[in-house]
Structure 1
């Protein structure tokens, strides 16, 4: 029973990720490399996926911050704000996007909804064709509850992008990995 569920989940995520626009992913990677600093933001489980992504970027030598943490500085021109919102309509995320835009930061949105209000203020998108908790007509079928399919796909796709931008950088990754453990 559990193996069958695992197989179905893996098949679902494989299908979602096989439908990613590779050009969007390459633009995302390029913008990461052009940014002075990277700020990552998401609410709930999207925020947890964002924190995992930020940690991987930190290991790779990026200057990266998670929005809302006590040590996060102000965002400025030349910085990149990566927003993760399945719906693209999370109100707090939208407010962060508008504020970052006002100071001249670049905005990248990871979402399922390229027509959302956050997408309208974003400079580039990474669209993930996965199911969210809203189960909109354009979203794929899933056996999973809520936004699990989106969360899993975000995690794996951002890992793939991290691997892409950090190729042959294993020594830096190892040196920057936590040693107070």
Structure 2
């Protein structure tokens, strides 16, 4: 199961809402295709009844210089792999493997380095989300708090909105929204940015408007077109990305942060010991 392939599919998915009707038709073709065939501009144009110019525009909207560069990357996804397990186990593990491949295709190491720099510079960090995204916000708070970050998570709609008033250039705000449409999350990011805070949106949708109020937009793989994507918790792609950010952050002053982490474990263990003693 250990194979990682750069795939253009998650890039297509994250830009899907920006496409025209014709471009969405092209996007659907590349997302849903699982066979290696002739992907030349002429062959695909004839197959989809579109112009070669449309293929070029589509590729550029995905961030490539042209269709040739796009299709070269697309063809790299067709690798041979041996299946050694069967049934539901294989189905679930393959779904996770596909999701990890998508994450690998989207992760921008330079961007992660910038985010960890912002974390080091911030005096106060907030992370907000609703539903399953809110649960991952709480997980992020616990993990980063244990290595010395002054961080709070927010899930309540009113608290998210009220907290926007208190942001300034010393703050950093993470907003988690897979759909990129949670009004409260976007409101906090927008208002925090106005007040000088660093803002990071973690989402599966890439929209031009995000650039107006986000210092960074971290793209997640979409579960929508994933084989058996309904088997995967929506929290998983968020947690994978948070793990990557966490690992980069820990690497800076690694010894100091490991000491802080060990000290929090020790404090928790002392608390458990005292409680046991009280009831013995």
Q: TM-score range by the shorter chain?
A: 0.7 to 0.9
Deviation digits for residues 143-181 of structure 1 (CA, Å, limit 9, x no counterpart) = 1229835x2121022112212211333221021246145
- Taking structure 1 as the reference length, the TM-score comes to 0.82
Deviation digits for residues 111-170 of structure 1 (CA, Å, limit 9, x no counterpart) = 122216445311112112x115xx3xxxx4231229835x21210221122122113332
Q: Distance in 2 between matches of 1:148 and 1:121?
A: 28
Q: Distance in 1 between matches of 2:137 and 2:231?
A: 18
Which one has more relative contact order, counting CA pairs under 8 Å at least 6 apart?
A: 1
SS in 2 for 1:145: helix
- Give the equivalent residue in structure 2 for 1:143: 228
- Structure 1 segments unaligned to the other structure (5+ residues): none
Instruction: Please state which structure has a larger fraction of its residues in helix.
Output: 2
Q: Distance in 2 between matches of 1:30 and 1:78?
A: 13
Aligned residue pairs total: 172
- Give the equivalent residue in structure 2 for 1:158: 242
Q: Distance in 2 between matches of 1:48 and 1:146?
A: 18
Matched, 1:172 2:172: no
The 8 Å contact of residues 210 and 217 in structure 2, kept in 1 or not, is answered as: no
> 1:46 Cα shift?
1.0
Matched, 1:59 2:146: yes
Q: CA RMSD in A?
A: 2.5
- Taking structure 2 as the reference length, the TM-score comes to 0.55
- Structure 2 segments unaligned to the other structure (5+ residues): 1-86, 273-280
Residue of structure 2 aligned with 1:46, choices 127, 133, 137: 133
